[in-house]
Amino acid sequence: MSEVLSQEFFTKPAPELARDLLGCVLVHKTSEGTVSGIIVETEAYSQEDAASHSYRGETPRNSVMFGPAGHAYVYFTYGMHYCFNVVSGQPDHGQAVLLRALQPLDGIELMRQSRKQNQDKQLCNGPAKLVQAMGISKQDYGKPLFEGVLHISKRLKEDPQISEGPRIGISKAVDVPWRFWLTDNPFISR
């Protein structure tokens, strides 16, 4: 068993946290069983960033982004999908890290059931896919990730090789290289 991250770990700026979360493990202990996966792809969003939900200030949807770091920002989009973010930085500065892909670790059978999909590479290779596979819902909005049934554990291996590039699916700040992934990992999206 790996150690759970401290809240302090999340207080760094989003682009930095996005890198540091790679290789860490997202764990969800549900009534059905435990599901977990290695974080292999992330994106950073900060308040000065035109592509960020926090760019135009605090609203009912994004308010948790302006609170203390280490909490979950879950939002509904495209009328059918949820995405999962980790709040980062200091309070009153809206920033977060979007989790885009995981490498399935535990509870793969549960993931297959919730995703109605058998191929392991198709289980968590997209932001809305991992939310489905991990059994995350809007109920998890604002929950702490440094303790509790939904949490993030420390890296299994230190100093992984990381690649970076432009973010996916946005129409503003399209050239900002704030998407990060574990180099050559086969479980990333696109």
Supply φ then ψ for residue 129, to 5 degrees: -70, -45
- Cα–Cα dist 58/61, whole Å: 8
Confirm or reject binding of residue 83 to DNA (CB under 7 A).
yes
Q: Give the residue with the Cβ less far from DNA, 156 or 174.
A: 174
36 vs 52 by CB, closer to DNA: 52
Distance in Å, CB of 3 to DNA, minimum: 26
Residue 50 vs 149, nearer CB to DNA: 50
CB 158 within 8 A of CB 11: no
- Contact between 98 and 127 (Cβ < 8 Å): yes
Question: If binding is defined by CB under 7 A, does position 129 make contact with DNA?
Answer: yes
Interface with DNA, residue 47, by CB under 7 A: no
CB atoms within 10 A of CB 48: 11
For residue 15, the tally of other CB atoms under 10 A from its CB is: 22
With a CB cutoff of 8 Å and minimum separation 6, the contacts of 116 are: none
Question: Biggest alpha carbon distance in the chain?
Answer: 42
Stretch of residues binding DNA (CB under 7 A), selected from 2-10, 32-40, 56-64, 102-110: 56-64
Interface pick for DNA out of 1, 171, 175, 184 (rule CB under 7 A):
171
119 sits near DNA (criterion: CB under 7 A): no
Which residue type is seen at 104? P
Query: Using alpha carbons only, what angle is made at residue 155 by residues 177 and 132, rounded to the nearest 5 degrees?
Result: 70
- List the one residue from 2, 149, 172, 186 that touches DNA (CB under 7 A): 172
Q: How far is the CB of 68 from DNA (least distance, A)?
A: 17
- Among the residue ranges 5-13, 76-84, 104-112, 150-158, the one whose residues contact DNA (CB under 7 A): 76-84
Residues that bind DNA (CB under 7 A): 43, 45, 51-54, 56, 59-62, 65, 73, 75-81, 83, 85, 96, 98, 115, 117, 122, 126-129, 167-172, 189
